[in-house]
Amino acid sequence: MTQSPGSVDPLTLAAGAAEAVRRRLRIPSAEVALVLGSGWSEAVAELEVIGRVPLAALPGFHTPAVAGHGGELLAVRITGDRCALVFTGRTHHYEGRGVAAVVHGVRTAAACGVRTVVLTNGSGSLRREWGPGTPVLIRDHINLTGVTPLVGPRFVDMSEAYAGRLRDLARTVDPSLPEGVYVQFPGPQYETPAEVRMAGVLGGDLVGMSTVLETIAARERGLEVLGLSLATNLAAGISQAPLDHREVIAAGQAAAPRLRSLITELLAVL
């Protein structure tokens, strides 16, 4: 059984997990990490995997609980001897394991030497023109979870949480990518139409249940963050259709060719 992130200092646990990652995957370090969210599982199908380990076999990690999320950590070759870590699933705040568990992957990646992290998710779109299957760059976020992974006087600058430099790089790969503001709700219930309207009034374009806490932890560790959200459905009240997680998985499958091309080309330039 792996240790819980709440039982020891989170950074100490991340350092131990990083050592296990290097040993199990037989890599000295990694430069980039990619976290796959809902709808993104097919995006890495064409990458060259050079090592894999079950997440639950690493200190502090658990098997992801959400359908459509994988349970492995992959090492993939980018170019030459450069490699990236791919977390095929994540822990969500609504699973009740605590905030430290939610951001443990990002902290472990930082301890492995990663300087750039790509955080992906599935989201509800407030913009009708961003229908199911539309990938969107995250420009900024709004944290409505009421929690943070930071403890004590950790005054981390969030004025550019999602690096403009990385968004510019992403547009060299796909100039059609729009960008918007992502709003994280606690979940696991979907947002009500009134909550979606509130998110829009606050300046949000997308709503979901992940990513924001990981971004805060990544910025604390000095990582540059690229956020990519796949609009898997129109948010409640934008569309009158009831919401279902099966829609999320189906949207990812339909968008798979575009997502594979996007991720493959992105990893080559990051």
With CA atoms as reference, report the closest residue to 169 among 137, 201, 146. Answer: 137
Average pLDDT, integer, range 99-127 = 97
The torsion angles phi and psi of 134, rounded to 5 degrees, stand at -90, 120
- CA 171 – CA 7 distance, rounded (Å): 42
For residue 70, the one-letter residue type is G
pLDDT of amino acid 68? 64
pLDDT of amino acid 67? 65
- CA 267 – CA 178 distance, rounded (Å): 19
Q: Tell me: the pLDDT tens digits for 208-255? A: 999 999 999 999 999 999 999 999 988 988 877 777 767 777 777 888
SS3 for 237? coil
Which pLDDT band holds residue 1 (cuts at 50, 70, 90)?
very low
The torsion angles phi and psi of 64, rounded to 5 degrees, stand at -55, 140
With CA atoms as reference, report the closest residue to 235 among 198, 193, 184. Answer: 193
pLDDT of amino acid 7? 65
How much is the mean pLDDT over the chain?
A: 92
pLDDT of amino acid 79? 82
Contacts with 95 (C-beta within 8 Å, 6 or more apart), sequence order: 65, 101
Q: Is the pLDDT of residue 265 over 50?
A: yes
- CA 238 – CA 219 distance, rounded (Å): 32
Structure token pair of residue 88:
């095929």
Structure token pair of residue 101:
């568990």
Average pLDDT, integer, range 187-210 = 97
Contacts with 30 (C-beta within 8 Å, 6 or more apart), sequence order: 75, 83, 84, 85, 109, 112, 113, 114
pLDDT of amino acid 251? 74
pLDDT of amino acid 8? 83
Quickly count: other Cβ atoms within 10 Å of residue 57's Cβ. 14
Active-site residue (options: 31, 46, 191, 214): 191
- CA 122 – CA 116 distance, rounded (Å): 20
The answer to whether 31 is a known catalytic residue is no
Q: Is the pLDDT of residue 20 over 80?
A: yes
pTM of the entire predicted model: 0.94
Would you give the DSSP letter of residue 93?
Answer: G
Which pLDDT band holds residue 42 (cuts at 50, 70, 90)?
confident
pLDDT of amino acid 253? 80
Q: In percent, how much of the chain has pLDDT > 90? A: 79
Report CA torsion sign: 55, 18, 78, 103: positive
User: Which region among 14-18, 92-96, 172-176, 247-251 has the lowest average model confidence (pLDDT)?
Assistant: 247-251
Q: Is the pLDDT of residue 5 over 70?
A: no
